[in-house]
Amino acid sequence: MSPSDIPLWASRLRTEREARLWDIPDMARELRQLAPDLPDIATLTRMIRKWETGQHLPGTRYQLLYARALGTSRDRLFSQTPSQQLAKHSTMMSAGEIARFGAWAEATDLGPATLDYYASTITRLANDYLCQPPAPLLHMAAELARDLFAQLQCGHQRLDQRRELYATAAKLCAFMAWSAGDLGRIREAEAHARTALILAGQADIPATRALALSAQSKTAFWDGDQRHAAILARQGFECSPSDTMKVFLALQEADAWQELGDIPRARQALRDAEGARAAIARPDEVGGLFSCGMAPNATTR
């Protein structure tokens, strides 16, 4: 069978497997993990080779297992309409093909309730952090992060939902950076903070970027790089909207300059904090840990 004769569903099976850096035995193990009563790995490996070359169409049960293992839908993997089979022989696309693509683009495997759950859980973690030990909360955050990352890597969402997922994941990574730093795990905190900033860049939301920069500034401060901590805090201050996080970032900058003995810059940062406090015009993006209360001696580190 030439490559041009391989059915679309067979090409999808190979493409989806290779995108995850799995070889064929890896794919067999993933299927067998979901259904231990399947044939042995060697037999499954032979079956997968035949499926990926289009020699045989997997049965219904295997199609469902494939969809679950790859984190997608059965229809997306195995749909093969007559118009799709003829498309390679034609320069035209049928109205049906175009309509089906439109339906796919509009569809999503993520509902508003799930997005609300992610956002509310991060807010709860940030608030609980003020009165509970960090280690159990960090463990809870890690579990939530695995779920969020799986959604981003394997799910199918609309662009607005995907942007919200990136923002939520950025906030969660910032929280984990802060928690890991408080537990003395500086290298882990650095990785979380760096990832938070990357994800915030994908979301392109200033408040989320400010929060990620705050986490990076805190990590740099406790790693002994106060100058970098001050620079990061200033970057966060400049992009932060008018909530208490802007005040928080100015105080972080002041702490860093004071630690370096640069009193003029520290005083300027404190003046910026007072100006930001007077200009607060919106609720905090997350709150709790990532907020600055009205008490004059609020700590930032």
Domain boundaries, the chain: 3-106, 112-278
112-278 architecture in CATH? Alpha Horseshoe (1.25)
CA angle 56, 62, 65 (to 5 degrees): 145
In percent, how much of the chain has pLDDT > 90? 55
pLDDT over threshold 90, residue 270 = yes
At 127, which amino acid appears?
Answer: N
CA distance 266 to 174: 25
**Do the Cβ atoms of 240 and 208 come closer than 8 Å?**
no
Q: Give me the pLDDT at residue 293, please.
A: 67
pTM (predicted TM-score): 0.63
Q: How far is CA 30 from CA 48, 80, 177, 245, in A?
A: 12, 24, 32, 44
At 97, which amino acid appears?
Answer: E
Q: Give me the pLDDT at residue 155, please.
A: 77
Spatial CA neighbour of 182 closest among 145, 242, 133, 216: 133
Q: Give me the pLDDT at residue 289, please.
A: 85
**Do the Cβ atoms of 55 and 134 come closer than 8 Å?**
no
**Do the Cβ atoms of 138 and 184 come closer than 8 Å?**
no
In percent, how much of the chain has pLDDT > 70? 86
H/E stretch holding 46 reads: helix 41-52
pLDDT over threshold 80, residue 125 = yes
Helix (H, G, I), strand (E, B), or coil: what is residue 290? strand
Helix (H, G, I), strand (E, B), or coil: what is residue 88? coil
Number of CB atoms found within 10 A of residue 144's CB: 19
For residues 85 and 101, the model is more confident at 101
Helix (H, G, I), strand (E, B), or coil: what is residue 89? coil
Q: Give me the pLDDT at residue 173, please.
A: 93
**Do the Cβ atoms of 82 and 96 come closer than 8 Å?**
no
Q: For 16-29, what is each residue's pLDDT tens digit?
A: 998 888 999 999 99
Q: Give me the pLDDT at residue 110, please.
A: 73
**Do the Cβ atoms of 207 and 236 come closer than 8 Å?**
no
H/E stretch holding 38 reads: none
Q: Is the dihedral of CA 112, 113, 114, 117 positive or negative?
A: positive
**Do the Cβ atoms of 110 and 144 come closer than 8 Å?**
no
Q: Give me the pLDDT at residue 152, please.
A: 84
Residues 241-261, mean pLDDT to the nearest whole number? 94
pLDDT over threshold 60, residue 227 = yes
For residues 87 and 261, the model is more confident at 261
3-106 and 112-278 have identical folds: no
Q: 3-106: what fold?
A: 434 Repressor (Amino-terminal Domain) (1.10.260)
Q: Which structure tokens are listed for 225?
A: 């790089």
Q: Give me the pLDDT at residue 295, please.
A: 43
Q: Which structure tokens are listed for 288?
A: 């709790």
Residues 141-163, mean pLDDT to the nearest whole number? 85
Q: For 40-68, what is each residue's pLDDT tens digit?
A: 999 999 999 999 998 888 988 899 999 99
pLDDT over threshold 60, residue 297 = no
